[in-house]
Amino acid sequence: MFNRPVYTLALRLLAHEAEAFDLLQDSFLKAFEQIAQYRSEAPFWAWLRRIVVNAALMRLRGRRPLDELDSLMLEHTADGGPDPLDVVSAHDLKRALGRLPALSRAVLWLYHVEGYTHEEIAQAFDRTVSFSKSQVARGGVRLRALLDQEDGQWNPRAIPC
């Protein structure tokens, strides 16, 4: 019942199928071990999702830090055209998200999709609120750069599979 949503969340945060599958198994094992801590008045999915997110964040913390000055950090300049994020398909957006550095992808996913606040993200990463805000802003710039062709128009071929 929860296999698919757990795997999907893990894949969105980690972007590697094998690692997401490992996280799926680890998360269910941890949930089984900690089932006594589950409060029945809260939704089970919310409790399980928290286990998955925490486990994914621990894996991300264990990775080597990425260079913050990566070439995609160039600022997106408005040219009067539509924002690529407004016209992109879900499939192309998922592919672009997969090309982001793990930290940026995780913070963007938690903030925009899972609805975490900057405070919750900061706490999860053991960082400051400004860390979360800057990662959301920088990740958005990176994502737009991936989705934005040189002339400012969206080009799905610009993102290789």
Per residue in 59-100, pLDDT tens?
Answer: 887 664 443 333 333 333 334 444 445 556 767 777 788 888
3-state secondary structure of 103: helix
Distances (CA, A) of 81 to 28, 72, 76, 154: 46, 20, 12, 10
Q: Considering the domain 3-61 in this protein, what is its CATH number?
A: 1.10.1740.10
Compute φ and ψ for 148, nearest 5 degrees. Answer: -105, 120
3-state secondary structure of 92: helix
Q: Domain coordinates of the chain in residue numbers?
A: 3-61, 71-158
Per residue in 12-59, pLDDT tens?
Answer: 888 888 889 999 999 999 999 999 999 888 899 989 998 998 898 888
Domain range 71-158, CATH class? mainly alpha
